Structure 1
Amino acid sequence: MTGDMVTPKIVLLGTCDSKLEEVLYLRERIVERKSCSVLLVDVGRNPCQHNLIDVGSTELLDRVARPSPEGADTSLPLPRAGYIKHMTLCASLYVSELFKSGAIHGIISMGGSNGTSIAAAVMRNALPVGFPKLIVSTMASGNIRPFIEETDIAMMYSVVDIAGINSILSQILSNAAGAIIGMIPSYMTHLSKPVRTGETKRIGITMFGVTTPCVDTIRLHLESKHKYEVFVFHATGSGGKAMERLVRERKIDAVLDVTTTEVADELVGGVLSAGPDRLATAAKAGIPQVISVGACDMVNFGTLDTVPAKFNDRQLHEHNPTVTLMRTTPKECSRIGEFISKQLRVHVAKPDLVEVILPSGGVSTLSVTGGAFENHEADTSLFDAVESGLAPTGIKVVRSARDINDPEFAILLAESLVALIQRQNSL
């Protein structure tokens, strides 16, 4: 590129002590396109000398002089697990500094389990959603959730092991080079757009299949009447975490947490937990949020044969061939309500910008009158726990007679959030 145009720079993370040949091959495939430069950063355990390595592992550790996690042993040589943790910390800090300075425009890596673990953690820790990220990995054909979590990392399966260049791996690495280069123009175009003025509010909403009618009504209402931009998150564990990540990245201005079902999975042992910190992020941020208890009548499992034996006597519902739902009991619902209220009580920064609205007519399509999960005792236990837990906080709690998917309940949620946003604007 010439003139005033910036040549995009791609960070290439590699464990050069074990994958140098392959890393250099990938580097060459990027450079030969002559559209992007490469910053090769060695995150290998053992120092590797090569004139094409821009930042060696020893230099990286020296350059990023930061306190190590409390109790961490950083004396050299580190055991494998210790090295991975320490290198991840150092590389994350370094890449974060590069990003904040505007020096980089994409990141790519390749490797086995160790290299993938380091690269994925660096991408998650140091870079925001929307920044081009790609990993070629031997691990990409299995369970990749631990690597991706709630981010937008793209993963490409290496098919063969990353152990020497051959006709298969060379084509895959060439494709990977083309893929990361192809992401850059879109990202650069995004950077060139005018800075957002803040006039259009960005709203995060959580949804499940059994709360879809509610969320669809809310989305259409907020988009058409109030001209808000709406982001809907599937409450599958990663969905809740993704929404909260975007709150931390200041890409969401207000939250309508319709579907808090991930709390049920966290407490009872389902497969769609968003972790023990769910509901804390928006409360800490002090942004307007309306919370409900959508799909807290259920815990999620996979196929019917994956439901733990300890739940054999429980009320189960086959949602589809791959998803089995278990009805929450009154005791479990009480715990869910206590969790929700505690998270808000402990973390809320601005109680007057938070409101909880409870649908006593049913918290999902299954728990309405005549539904498969109808259980008024359980729902009442849930509502009572939320109300009692929030009584001393100043957070407004409303109980509606309608079910969660009633259009009027959906409008109530939407307009309640609008009122909180207007209150924030008037402060």
Structure 2
Amino acid sequence: MAATVALLAALDTKADDAAFLRARLRAHGHDVTVIDVGVLGAPGLDPDIDRSTVAARGGVELAQLRERRDRSTAVATMAAGAAAVVAELVGAGRADAVLAIGGGAGTTIGSAAMRALPLGLPKVILTTVSSGDTAGYVGTSDIVLFPSLVDVAGINRISAVTYARAADALSGMVSGARDGGQQVPDRPLVAATMFGVTTACVMRAKERLEAAGCEVLVFHATGTGGRTMERLVAEGLVDAVLDLTTTEWADEIVGGILGAGPHRLEAAARAGIPQVVSLGATDMANFGPPASVPREYADRVLYRHNAENTLLRVDAHEAGRIGRAIAGKLNAATGPATVLIPTRGVSALDVDGGPFDDPEARAALAAALLADLDPDVVRVEELDLHLNDPEFADLAASRVLAQIEEKTMLPRHTTGAAR
């Protein structure tokens, strides 16, 4: 049975481009459902799903959009409508992949239609805006942005090449998705969070978990990484979480550039899956080059991590707010939850004599967390260790394994070094 590709294009301005791509995909043996997301001009190609349908699904009649002649409203409406139409097609098994084309507006509409689609379903946008800050388009999805090189404005000797390659790439993705791709063993899947300054801990814990038969996904806790992990947990793809690097909450509280938003740490709690959480890199908030650091932090402890990244050492007050925020999220846990507090430091910079060595801030973080955690919901262990100590990593891995096996071997609160 042939695969079906949903092709989104504004057929008043991109009809020739859409026709070329449709022909290329058909040559690969795929069926193509053309969805018109244009508004003003007459379509130059007959669509399978017309623009009136898309606009109505976005909550506004097409005639009203034309009367308003407001580009922003039109793009937002067609984006919402395209998302609804494509989700319905995929849900009904009538689309095996999605391809969108365009500049800024076409990419906005196409990405809106793709971001909530399942992981692994092929999604490609042939776009003029494939470089620069594309986070708003891609979000936490696996959308592929394919550069058009020239504007999406007809077929020429350059666009013919890039269009063909985009269609060929999507066709390959579809073939791979339909044959199942490489099979991997069915093992417990653990999601872990890591930062450069917590790598020693997380990689050792990963080795221990893999040796015990788990598969481990490591997410870089840079905002997008945390949100992506939360999404996969929410979609039911993860069996347990080793959330040792909760640094994104530091950025969220202090105003750094790598916050993951106010819903970080919620997915595992709602899903009821085992979670072992710690305070990795919560001693720091991230900013860009030194000139980008807000003026109110000019007299604070700063560390130039590299030319593009300046780290701010959070103070005791901020540390307390971070601790309370983490506690509030974990108190909503509906499954096994354990917090490990390393009292000797939470990052490679937060060590004895290190640039972020601040016993007062460490104590404030732990005190706020302990004061606000509900002991009937979350198990707590204070450990006379540094987060990057091998013993800490080993204990974290053992707690995940114990929770996966549904053991209740831990007391509600213990103090002292791990054994």
**TM-score, normalised to structure 1's length?**
0.89
Aligned partners of 1:216, 1:342: CA distance in 2, in Å? 28
2:82 to 83, 91, 101: 91
In structure 2, list runs of 5 or more residues that go unmatched: 409-419
Instruction: After superposition, give the CA deviation of every residue in 1:335-378 in whole Å (9 maximum; x if it has no partner).
Output: 11111111222x3223xx11111111110111011211110110
Q: Which residue of 2 is the match for residue 37 of structure 1?
A: 31
Which residues of 2 match residues 152-167 of structure 1 at below 5 A?
Answer: 152-167=142-157
Q: Does the Cα contact within 8 Å between 2:221 and 2:247 map onto a contact in 1?
A: yes
Partner of 2:115: helix, strand, or coil? helix
1:76 to 59, 64, 79: 64
Q: Does the Cα contact within 8 Å between 1:288 and 1:424 map onto a contact in 2?
A: no
Query: Partner letter of residue 20 of structure 1?
Result: A
Structure 1 pair 74/174, CA: closer, same or farther in 2 (3 Å)? closer
Q: Which residue of 2 is the match for residue 117 of structure 1?
A: 108
- Please report how far the alpha carbon of residue 236 of structure 1 lies from its aligned counterpart in structure 2 after TM superposition: 0.8
Query: Partner letter of residue 414 of structure 1?
Result: A
1:311 to 284, 291, 297: 297
Q: Which residue of 1 is the match for residue 205 of structure 2?
A: 218
Q: Which residue of 2 is the match for residue 3 of structure 1?
A: none
Q: Does the Cα contact within 8 Å between 2:12 and 2:44 map onto a contact in 1?
A: no
Q: Does the Cα contact within 8 Å between 2:55 and 2:62 map onto a contact in 1?
A: no
Aligned partners of 1:124, 1:215: CA distance in 2, in Å? 29
1:293 to 279, 285, 289: 279
- Please report how far the alpha carbon of residue 424 of structure 1 lies from its aligned counterpart in structure 2 after TM superposition: 7.7
In structure 1, list runs of 5 or more residues that go unmatched: 1-5
Structure 1 pair 193/414, CA: closer, same or farther in 2 (3 Å)? closer
Structure 1 pair 192/96, CA: closer, same or farther in 2 (3 Å)? farther
1:10 to 5, 12, 15: 5
- RMSD over aligned Cα atoms: 2.4
- Please report how far the alpha carbon of residue 321 of structure 1 lies from its aligned counterpart in structure 2 after TM superposition: 2.4
1:270 to 251, 256, 268: 256
- Please report how far the alpha carbon of residue 396 of structure 1 lies from its aligned counterpart in structure 2 after TM superposition: 1.1
Structure 1 pair 119/384, CA: closer, same or farther in 2 (3 Å)? same
The answer to whether structure 1 residue 204 and structure 2 residue 191 are counterparts is yes
Q: Which residue of 2 is the match for residue 242 of structure 1?
A: 228
Query: Partner letter of residue 383 of structure 2?
Result: S
Structure 1 pair 192/142, CA: closer, same or farther in 2 (3 Å)? closer
Aligned partners of 1:81, 1:49: CA distance in 2, in Å? 20
1:169 to 142, 145, 159: 159
Percent sequence identity over aligned pairs: 39
Query: Partner letter of residue 117 of structure 1?
Result: T
Which residues of 2 match residues 406-425 of structure 1 at below 5 A?
Answer: 406-423=389-406
- Please report how far the alpha carbon of residue 328 of structure 1 lies from its aligned counterpart in structure 2 after TM superposition: 0.7
- Please report how far the alpha carbon of residue 13 of structure 1 lies from its aligned counterpart in structure 2 after TM superposition: 0.9
Aligned partners of 1:84, 1:344: CA distance in 2, in Å? 39
Aligned partners of 1:311, 1:74: CA distance in 2, in Å? 50
The answer to whether structure 1 residue 403 and structure 2 residue 386 are counterparts is yes
- Please report how far the alpha carbon of residue 200 of structure 1 lies from its aligned counterpart in structure 2 after TM superposition: 1.8
Aligned partners of 2:132, 2:204: CA distance in 1, in Å? 37
Query: Partner letter of residue 397 of structure 1?
Result: V
Structure 1 pair 7/424, CA: closer, same or farther in 2 (3 Å)? farther
1:339 to 287, 307, 325: 325
1:21 to 16, 19, 31: 16
Aligned partners of 2:121, 2:169: CA distance in 1, in Å? 13
Query: Partner letter of residue 403 of structure 1?
Result: H
**TM-score, normalised to structure 2's length?**
0.91
- Please report how far the alpha carbon of residue 98 of structure 1 lies from its aligned counterpart in structure 2 after TM superposition: 2.1
Partner of 2:132: helix, strand, or coil? coil
Instruction: After superposition, give the CA deviation of every residue in 1:275-323 in whole Å (9 maximum; x if it has no partner).
Output: 1111111111111111111000111122233222332211111222222
Instruction: After superposition, give the CA deviation of every residue in 1:175-213 in whole Å (9 maximum; x if it has no partner).
Output: 11111112112111227969x8xx621000000011001
Q: Which residue of 2 is the match for residue 365 of structure 1?
A: 348
Q: Does the Cα contact within 8 Å between 1:74 and 1:82 map onto a contact in 2?
A: no
1:182 to 172, 184, 188: 172
2:372 to 389, 396, 412: 389
Q: How many residues align?
A: 406
Higher deviation after alignment, 297-306 or 251-260:
297-306
Instruction: After superposition, give the CA deviation of every residue in 1:212-240 in whole Å (9 maximum; x if it has no partner).
Output: 0111111110111x201110000011100
Structure 1 pair 101/362, CA: closer, same or farther in 2 (3 Å)? same
Q: Does the Cα contact within 8 Å between 1:136 and 1:157 map onto a contact in 2?
A: yes
2:52 to 58, 74, 86: 58
Partner of 1:84: helix, strand, or coil? helix
Partner of 1:341: helix, strand, or coil? helix
Aligned partners of 1:277, 1:313: CA distance in 2, in Å? 31
Query: Partner letter of residue 21 of structure 2?
Result: L
